[in-house]
Amino acid sequence: MAGGKETPRQKMVGMMYLVLTALLALQVSSAVLEKFAIINVTLEELATDSEEANAAQTASIVEAGKGKSNPKVIKAVENAQKVRTLTKETIEHTNGLKAKMLAVTGEKEVNKKFIDNHGSDVATMMVTGPDGKEYVKRLKDYVAKLKEYTGLEFEPLVKSESEMPFFDPEQSSIDREFIDFTFHNTPPIAALSSVLEMQTEIYAYESRALEHLAKEADAGNVKFDKIIPMVRPISSVVAAGAKYEADMFITASKEGLTPDMFRNGQKLPVQEDPDTKIMVGKVSFLASASSYDAQNQSKQTYEAEIRLGDSPDQTYKRKIDFVVVKPVIRVTTGNRPTLYLNCGNSVNFEVPSLGTDFNPSFSAKGAEVVKGDKPGKVTIIPKERKVAITLANAGATLGTEDFDVKPIPRPRFIARDNQGKDIDLKNGIKGTSTTGIRISADPDENFKNEVPKDAVYRIRLMEVSLARGTSLVASIKPTSESIDLTPWRSQMRPGDRIVVTITTVVRRTFQNEDEKVGVYPSDLISIPIQ
């Protein structure tokens, strides 16, 4: 390890890397290679965190130098930017090297095959090829230029084996060069880890250089000339009906000071933030909007207020803007289904943006709504030809969905024999062998499929006549769908006809109530007798 100023986490990861390297030298099994893959994840995280921290430090140095005429400060800012550029270029080169290591093994990413690879392709690339020499040159140049930009002394990143902390002269009489002992006989995953570990070292060196330059640019001293209320939203875009949540805090804090904080004059609970150790006001309320723009968004605002004391000059206010997005209401029973009048139409509403917070209430125009056993599942019973269903969640209106309503299609009246076979109304029936017929009221097929519980019809009254020419031979008034023709068998003659006039039909609704169905004079069935 380079031995520069490192965080405890960096030191711990570095020690783990040394232990794994030592185990690898002893030719421990594939389990060690798997550990390298695990530590790679931590090394990647360290590199990302260090990159962000160093970029922020550079920005603060540049900010501190704005408007300054002191040559020392100007030079420090210039050198900080050079250090940042140098680090980016060096990291970019090492990232390219990692990509080559994957490519030479035929892989595009670190996977099980790459981890279990014990081959020497990567080792050969680094030890005998130009990549290793260029890698060494880049590391040496990096340290030299850091010294040039800062005037500080840095330990070399490129060391021989004897300069490493794990070297034991009693165990080895050979002092190998950096590339040889780092990559010779090294499996690909271990080689990749060594480059990753070197990247964390580069960032650690950069951090030390920037810290020194920050002091020269006077960027290390934060000076407050005003206090501004700040709000850190959990999300600046929130769906109507969902909670808007944010942390309210001040940019300057003092130990033992607990300010009063308010949203639109309403006092907020104040507590210490576990990460920053400053006092924050917890902002939480249901977002809502009465109208939306063409992008289905509504700009909203509230007043944040922080009081450090009783006097007016210790009260700080700021308007906080946020955007409420109109939630998308999804009707999952189809593409906005057409409803049937006076029927129990099953409809399911979803608002994906609310997730588990979705527990809607419904109001309807032109219909009755019955809530189901799950949030969003309802039965709509239309009373008019146009229906509007309004959804609300926790008191906030989400939107209104409009539906067209169809009238209930009339049933078809079918004559069948006692075996359920349709009677051919052209050829009729044989009077001597027919003991009875049945008249059924069959629902429209689409109606039956969409609202099966509402598509049940029963004939309650018919007038059935035996006619011969213009004369009436006999008549009955059945109160069910079955017609007993046994008493007429001796009277029926070829050429006679049975005339069925349907007078009363009911539909059984999904609520198990009978609704009368209108019939027409055309609802007449004439069956010839052979």
Which residues on adjacent β-strands are paired with residue 322?
Answer: 300
Residues of the chain with CATH 2.60.40.10: 229-325, 330-406
275 has a pLDDT exceeding 80: no
Q: How far is residue 142's CA from residue 510's CA, in Å, rounded to a whole number?
A: 80
143 has a pLDDT exceeding 90: yes
Scanning the structure block, which residue is given the tokens 């070197």?
198
Which residues on adjacent β-strands are paired with residue 285?
Answer: 244
Q: State pLDDT tens for residues 58-77.
A: 998 998 888 777 888 899 99
Q: How far is residue 182's CA from residue 169's CA, in Å, rounded to a whole number?
A: 17
Q: Domain 330-406 has what CATH class?
A: mainly beta
Mean pLDDT of the 465-478 span: 92
In angstroms, the Cα distances linking 145 to 51, 117, 158, 326, 336 are: 19, 37, 14, 55, 68
Mean pLDDT of the 162-190 span: 71
Scanning the structure block, which residue is given the tokens 């408007």?
67
Asked if residues 109 and 44 have their Cβ atoms less than 8 Å apart, the reply is no
Q: Amino acid identity of 211? A: E
The DSSP line for 45-113 is: HHHHHHHHHHHHHHHHHHHHHTT---HHHHHHHHHHHHHHHHHHHHHHHHHHHHHHHHHHTT-SS--HH
Average pLDDT of every residue of the chain: 83
Scanning the structure block, which residue is given the tokens 């799950």?
374
DSSP three-state, residue 197: helix
**The pLDDT value given to residue 91:** 95
Architecture per CATH, domain 229-325, reads as: Sandwich (2.60)
3-state per-residue secondary structure call for 120-159: CHHHHHHHHCHHHHHHHHHHHHHHHHHHHHHCCCCCCCCC
pLDDT band at 159 (very low <50, low <70, confident <90, very high): confident
The helix (H) or strand (E) run that includes residue 243 is strand 243-250
**The pLDDT value given to residue 119:** 86
The DSSP line for 338-365 is: PEETTS-EEEEEE-GGGGGG--EEEEEE
Buried b (16+ CB within 10 A) or exposed e, 332-356: eeeeebebbbbbbbbbbbbbebbee
pLDDT band at 222 (very low <50, low <70, confident <90, very high): very low
**The pLDDT value given to residue 457:** 94
pLDDT band at 251 (very low <50, low <70, confident <90, very high): low
Q: Report H helices in 401-483.
A: 445-450
**The pLDDT value given to residue 35:** 61
Asked if residues 214 and 249 have their Cβ atoms less than 8 Å apart, the reply is no
Strands 471-476 and 456-468 turn out to be antiparallel
Q: How far is residue 453's CA from residue 282's CA, in Å, rounded to a whole number?
A: 51
DSSP three-state, residue 206: helix
378 has a pLDDT exceeding 50: yes
Mean pLDDT of the 368-380 span: 91
**The pLDDT value given to residue 267:** 92
Tokens (6 digits) for 500: 């069925």
Most confident residue range from 42-46, 61-65, 145-149:
145-149
**The pLDDT value given to residue 28:** 45
Q: State pLDDT tens for residues 284-316.
A: 887 877 788 887 788 889 999 998 766 576 788
109 has a pLDDT exceeding 80: yes
Scanning the structure block, which residue is given the tokens 């309807």?
364
Instruction: Please report, rounded to a whole number, the percentage of residues in the chain having pLDDT higher than 70.
Output: 84
474 has a pLDDT exceeding 90: yes
Tokens (6 digits) for 226: 């005003």
Sequence-distant (6+) residues with CB within 8 A of 439 are: 413, 414, 415, 416, 459, 462, 481, 483, 500, 502, 525
Q: How far is residue 486's CA from residue 447's CA, in Å, rounded to a whole number?
A: 36
pLDDT band at 104 (very low <50, low <70, confident <90, very high): very high
**The pLDDT value given to residue 221:** 45
Q: How far is residue 259's CA from residue 249's CA, in Å, rounded to a whole number?
A: 9
In angstroms, the Cα distances linking 207 to 55, 450, 457 are: 10, 69, 83
pTM: 0.43
Higher pLDDT, 254 or 16: 254
Closest CA to 467 of 382, 427, 525: 525
Q: How far is residue 447's CA from residue 410's CA, in Å, rounded to a whole number?
A: 10
Mean pLDDT of the 328-343 span: 74
Higher pLDDT, 373 or 1: 373
Mean pLDDT of the 106-122 span: 87
**The pLDDT value given to residue 63:** 84
**The pLDDT value given to residue 313:** 61
Sequence-distant (6+) residues with CB within 8 A of 511 are: 344
**The pLDDT value given to residue 520:** 85
Instruction: Please report, rounded to a whole number, the percentage of residues in the chain having pLDDT higher than 90.
Output: 43
5 has a pLDDT exceeding 60: no
92 has a pLDDT exceeding 50: yes
pLDDT band at 100 (very low <50, low <70, confident <90, very high): very high
269 has a pLDDT exceeding 60: yes
**The pLDDT value given to residue 405:** 93
Mean pLDDT of the 443-468 span: 92
Q: State pLDDT tens for residues 500-514.
A: 999 999 999 998 999
Q: How far is residue 525's CA from residue 439's CA, in Å, rounded to a whole number?
A: 9
Q: State pLDDT tens for residues 382-417.
A: 999 999 999 998 888 888 889 999 999 999 999 999
Tokens (6 digits) for 234: 């959990």
